[in-house]
């Protein structure tokens, strides 16, 4: 039986559909027995060096958050990576990297708990999801979520990066419009009281 590597994340190994890279079951068992990979849950493994790193550098924290985010979204198909999880998956930098608990947005009717994840309950229209990866929120939504939860510094750093790289896109409906073009308009969109 062949196991596939999840698209877009070479550090995670497991049984995911739609991937082109594969490993045999015996290769996974051998890597697990020799300690090169760690079993996270059934059919999901991660590189042992990344998982067991005691490093507290921002890069190590981002790696752990990225891995935890992918695992959490895989465990709850109705969830979407949001806030810091969406930023790390999109490669958007932040002012500070302290939390390694993944943030997920779930529908308001979601009545289950996801262990080791910070849940946000909200409706996510299709235009608020990343068109390249619908398992995470779009850059503009991510920046607004960061502003609401983590404050102005993280939102400005993320917004600056997104504007410089052209990440925010125009939403489809005027109700969900997020003005882009300057950090001031982005801050005003996050909370109109900040512009006074």
- Does 116 map to a domain? yes
Give 9's pLDDT tier (boundaries 50, 70, 90).
low
Per residue in 92-118, pLDDT (tens digit) is: 988 887 766 899 999 998 888 777 888
Residue 186 has pLDDT above 80, yes or no: no
Nearest CA among 16, 17, 48 for reference residue 33: 48
Give 19's pLDDT tier (boundaries 50, 70, 90).
very low
Residue 131 has pLDDT above 90, yes or no: no
What is the rounded average pLDDT for all residues in the chain?
A: 75
- What's the pLDDT score for residue 82? 94
Alpha helix stretches (DSSP H) within 7-127: 25-33, 48-51, 58-75, 83-90
* C-beta of residue 43 within 8 angstroms of C-beta of residue 14: yes
- What's the pLDDT score for residue 106? 92
- Does 145 map to a domain? yes
- Does 85 map to a domain? yes
Q: In total, how many domains does the chain have? A: 2
Highest mean pLDDT out of 31-35, 140-144, 163-167 = 140-144
Whether residue 19 is found in the same domain as residue 106: no
More confident residue, 139 or 44: 139
- Does 62 map to a domain? no
Give 4's pLDDT tier (boundaries 50, 70, 90).
very low
Whether residue 174 is found in the same domain as residue 125: yes
Instruction: Report the C-alpha gap between 41 and 46 in whole angstroms.
Output: 10
* C-beta of residue 94 within 8 angstroms of C-beta of residue 104: no
Q: What percent of the chain has pLDDT over 70?
A: 71
- What's the pLDDT score for residue 190? 47
Q: What is the DSSP string of 116-181?
A: T-EEEE----GGGB-SS-TTBB-HHHHHHHHHHHH-HHHHHHHHHHHHHHT-----SSGGG----S
Whether residue 44 is found in the same domain as residue 90: no
Whether residue 124 is found in the same domain as residue 185: yes
Instruction: Report the C-alpha gap between 92 and 164 in whole angstroms.
Output: 11
Residues paired with residue 22 on neighbouring β-strands, in sequence order: 4
Instruction: Report the C-alpha gap between 115 and 13 in whole angstroms.
Output: 21
- Does 189 map to a domain? yes
Whether residue 103 is found in the same domain as residue 164: yes
Whether residue 108 is found in the same domain as residue 165: yes
Domain of 6 in residue numbering reads as 2-51
- What's the pLDDT score for residue 21? 44
- Does 67 map to a domain? no
| 131-156 mean pLDDT | 91
Give the sheet arrangement for strand 12-14, strand by strand: 22-24, 2-4, 12-14, 44-47, 37-41
- What's the pLDDT score for residue 129? 92
| 162-175 mean pLDDT | 63
Instruction: Report the C-alpha gap between 22 and 150 in whole angstroms.
Output: 38
Return the structure tokens found at 145.
């979520």
- Does 71 map to a domain? no
How many CB atoms are located within 10 Å of the residue 159 CB? 29
Residue 81 has pLDDT above 70, yes or no: yes
């Amino acid at each position: 039986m062949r196991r596939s590597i999840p698209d877009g994340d070479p550090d995670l190994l497991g049984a995911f559909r739609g991937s082109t890279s594969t490993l045999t079951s015996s290769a996974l068992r051998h890597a697990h027995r020799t300690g090169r990979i760690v079993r996270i849950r059934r059919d999901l493994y991660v590189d042992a060096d990344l998982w067991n790193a005691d490093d507290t550098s921002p890069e190590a924290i981002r790696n752990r958050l990225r891995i935890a985010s992918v695992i959490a979204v895989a465990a709850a198909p109705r969830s979407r990576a949001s806030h810091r999880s969406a930023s790390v998956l999109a490669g958007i930098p932040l002012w500070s990297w302290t939390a390694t608990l993944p943030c997920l947005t779930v529908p308001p009717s979601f009545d289950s708990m996801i262990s080791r994840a910070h849940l946000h309950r909200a409706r996510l229209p299709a235009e608020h999801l990343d068109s390249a990866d619908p398992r995470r929120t779009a850059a503009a939504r991510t920046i607004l979520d960061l502003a609401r939860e983590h404050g102005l510094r993280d939102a400005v750093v993320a917004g600056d990066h997104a504007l410089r790289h052209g990440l925010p896109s125009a939403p489809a409906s005027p109700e969900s419009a997020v003005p882009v073009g300057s950090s001031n308009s982005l801050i005003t969109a996050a909370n109109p009281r900040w512009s006074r």
